[in-house]
Amino acid sequence: MSFFELYLGRPRGLSERLRLALGRLFHALFIIPDLIRGASRESPMLVEVADGVVLSGRADAMIVRGDEVRIVERKSSKAPRRGAWVSDILQASAYGFMLIRRGRANRVLIEIRYPTASRLFELDEGLSSMLLRAIDDLILVKRHGIVPMAKRGSRCLKCPFKDICYELDEELAVEEGEVVEPGQWLADVNVLE
């Protein structure tokens, strides 16, 4: 969706803005319980990854114990049966990566909390490698306007960009033949355990 907002200049619609507002409210409900449990709420972080490439974001909550940080990322969506959704893990991995780059942590644990389950991961070489590959893909999308891989599924029916997205796919198929798109390596990766 970021691709379409950035390159087509399409502003967010009312339903999208409402969904974002509900998400902010959902996260605000946890501020006081987090503070009681000793978790901090980090101010926005910025880290330059490469020349002109900056990661930015804010974790929902962080628990710091010495040089170990546990990043807590809350999701309102349903948890997969096992593991966590790859997009959720990559988001939290980016926060951990930023903390390590800023010298704030040597070990990062990632906790993804869904309404019905909580999943724990350690930011290791495998997750870091996956994150850096995703960042490479985002650079291609942002700097060169290359259309990112779109996973097709039932969520596409609700997407405000579905018509444009399908048209772009058809154009690429005609122009390029077999196209390898940024993010295509994630096509079969839905869940990480």
Which of 18-32, 52-66, 106-120, 159-173 shows the lowest per-residue confidence on average (mean pLDDT)? 159-173
How far is the C-alpha of 188 from the C-alpha of 193, rounded, in Å?
A: 14
d(CA 84, CA 109): 14
pTM for the predicted model, two decimal places: 0.76
Residue-wise pLDDT tens digits, 78-93: 889 999 998 899 999 9
| Cα distance between residue 103 and residue 154, in whole Å | 41
Tell me the pLDDT tens digit for each residue of 8-67.
Answer: 677 777 877 787 777 777 777 777 777 777 777 666 888 888 778 888 888 888 888 888
Q: Does domain 2-183 have CATH number 3.30.1490?
A: no
